[in-house]
Amino acid sequence: MGGGRITSALVAGLCRAEHQGAIVVHDRNLKKLRALERDFGVAVEPDLQSAVAMADTLIIAVRPAAVAEMLDDIARCAGASRRLAVSLAAGIPLKKLRPRLGSRVRWARALPSPICRIGRGLTAVTFARNLLGPDRKRVRKFFEQVGPVLEMAESRIDAFNAAYSPAHGYHALTILAKAAQNTGLDPKVALTAGAHALADAILYWRQSGQNLSDLLHEAATPGGTSAATLAAMDAAGYMRVIEGGLAAGIQQARANARR
């Protein structure tokens, strides 16, 4: 339900994983549906009633502000009240979702990442108390096709959402490359340097299994240039800036919940 950015990434990842089972995408935007049909060969259905009738699991992938209206429309469709429903909407809690489709709908929330497009997207999931083992397994298995799945209490999911977006990586790389460029580096060289600094470090941390403080110690010789760079960043409030960013993300999720 909703054929936008996250649906496109999810569908791409599912196709790549040779997902067994039909996928039907509903959106009010015919152009987006046609593109999904053309690019991934999924079925598309511009008529909500028909889309709901075809589904045994509903994945709600519209923006938080559009969720209430979408669920009210779904509630008017025949048979909607017995489905498994998974909401991808950031911030909107299960207690707000549940009443809209009736008590027989079994709810889960999932926060996939656009990186699921290449089968490496981390997905956070949380389950309503009435969601039984087989449904939980089904939801986990569905998202495991496109990357690792992390189950957590719903009370943690907003904080997790603020912390894990790949947007952090793109943003950090943009800032690092721009700052390097401002020191006089050619833009291409600045971007290459920044990309290696971030991506190689994470790759090595993952592959080596070493802890971050040992790796930092190895890469930033005391008294050396990296140590001086990092000390200046820390003194300027690097940690505070990141904490402020995460707090704003969590606040936005809470604002979504009040809609």
123 or 177: whose CB is closer to ligand NAP? Answer: 123
112 or 249: whose CB is closer to ligand NAP? Answer: 112
CA distance 108 to 160: 16
Considering the complex, what minimum distance in angstroms separates the CB of residue 155 from ligand NAP? 18
Q: Is residue 61 near ligand NAP by the rule CB under 6 A?
A: yes
> Where in 95-114 is the site for ligand NAP (CB under 6 A)?
111-112, 114
Considering the complex, what minimum distance in angstroms separates the CB of residue 74 from ligand NAP? 9
CA angle 200, 206, 210 (to 5 degrees): 105
Among 12, 89, 125, 128, the residue binding ligand NAP under the rule CB under 6 A is 89
Considering the complex, what minimum distance in angstroms separates the CB of residue 59 from ligand NAP? 9
Distance of CA 201 to the CA centre of its chain: 23
What is the 8-class DSSP label of residue 43?
Answer: E
Of 66-74, 208-216, 219-227, 244-252, the segment contacting ligand NAP by CB under 6 A is: 66-74
Among 59, 71, 88, 162, the residue binding ligand NAP under the rule CB under 6 A is 88
CA distance 257 to 245: 19
Among candidate residues 20, 18, 34, the one with its CA nearest the CA of residue 8: 34
CA angle 34, 149, 37 (to 5 degrees): 10
Considering the complex, what minimum distance in angstroms separates the CB of residue 204 from ligand NAP? 27
106 sits in which H/E element: strand 106-111
Among 27, 55, 139, 162, the residue binding ligand NAP under the rule CB under 6 A is 27
């010789």: which residue's tokens? 221
Among 14, 51, 74, 90, the residue binding ligand NAP under the rule CB under 6 A is 90
- Sequence-ordered list of residues with C-beta below 8 angstroms from that of 133, at least 6 positions apart, any chain: none
Considering the complex, what minimum distance in angstroms separates the CB of residue 46 from ligand NAP? 9
Tokens of residue 158, six digits:
């907003």
3-state secondary structure of 148: coil
Considering the complex, what minimum distance in angstroms separates the CB of residue 13 from ligand NAP? 12
Q: Which residues bind ligand NAP (CB under 6 A)?
A: 2-7, 27-29, 32, 61-64, 66, 69-70, 88-90, 111-112, 114
